[in-house]
Amino acid sequence: LDNSEAIKELVESEEYQRLFDRQLKRDSKSKKKWYTQDKGGVYATATGGQITGFGAGLVEDEDKDLDEMFPDESQDGDLFKFGGAIVIDDPIKPEDSKSLTVRAKVNERFDSTIRSRVNSRNTPIVIVMQRVHEEDLSGYLIDGVEDWDVLSLPALKNDGTALWSFKHTVEELMLLKQINPAVFFFQYQQETKNIKTGGEFLEDFNTEQH
């Protein structure tokens, strides 16, 4: 709800309106569900919350292709034909990831409920999360039969520098590694392949250069 409210406030801001001129409907007072006068909008709910009855993305006309549906938009790429998305933010807590039951429930919910909420095969599903287990939702999907575009941003880069030194310096990251190596490699490095479920290392990591 906090994320939804922040987006809503951004849409209503003077800067946004100057660029896009998208007005909210007058009755859009809720943080959970609100719409623009152009029939766009946001529906926000917690993991496990009610999403049946709601669809994401543009409902395409089977008799038209995207170029026909967006005749006034740029033809330089599909970026300008975006019609909505499903965004999943941190679907499982680190402390819950140790539970096979909870992990299975989250992964099953994706297959049984979330997949069917897209209104078109062109509606993207975006998952934003830190890695917390080799069988978390990211791992489940990456190891599946589909091809997913994966953007991994380890806090400590391969060249030994910090991804965002304002947040964590190299020295601070190395201290975190000493305090809890499993948490460091999972949540900060997005690395899971050499760590067992319980955090036991299968092999030592070569970080001498760091």
User: Do residues 78 and 66 lie in contact, with contact meaning Cβ atoms separated by under 8 Å?
Assistant: yes
User: Do residues 131 and 138 lie in contact, with contact meaning Cβ atoms separated by under 8 Å?
Assistant: yes
Q: What is the pLDDT of residues 117-174, one digit of tens each?
A: 888 888 899 999 999 999 999 999 999 999 999 999 999 999 999 999 999 999 999 9
Could you please report the per-residue DSSP string of 142-210?
HTSSS--------SB-TTS-BS-TTT--HHHHHHHHHH-HHHIIIIIT---TTB-TTS-BSS----TT-
pTM of the model: 0.74
Q: What is the pLDDT along the chain (210 residues), one digit of tens a residue?
A: 888 899 899 998 999 999 988 888 888 778 888 988 888 888 888 877 777 777 888 887 655 565 665 555 555 554 456 788 999 999 999 999 999 999 999 999 999 989 888 888 888 999 999 999 999 999 999 999 999 999 999 999 999 999 999 999 999 999 999 999 999 999 999 998 666 544 444 444 444 443
To which H or E segment does residue 133 belong?
Answer: none
